[in-house]
Amino acid sequence: MIIIIIMIIITIIITIIIVIMIMIMIITIIERSLEVKLLTIWTDGKAEVGRVREEKSRREKIREEKE
């Protein structure tokens, strides 16, 4: 009887550890995903996402060539 109770307790502890590990993995995946999507460079008090920044620099180069 005591062995069964100990086995149940061990099973519950292992299950809790597995759930915590899965949660950590999910949080890490979400965090990395957000890091990739939310990389910004702050200029003039505004956040510019990479694509916007590239487009802006392209427009500036075109303007400089026209002048």
* Domain extent at residue 54: 2-66
Is 67 in a helix, a strand, or coil?
Answer: coil
Beta strands in the chain (DSSP E): 40-43, 46-49
Classify each residue of 5-41 as buried b or exposed e, where b means 16 or more C-beta atoms within 10 Å of its C-beta.
eeeeeeeeeeeeeeeeeeeeeeeeeeeeeeeeeeeee
According to the model, what pLDDT value does residue 23 have?
A: 96
Residues of the chain with pLDDT under 50: none
Report the pLDDT value the prediction gives residue 61, as an integer from 0 to 100: 83
Q: What is the number of structural domains in the chain?
A: 1
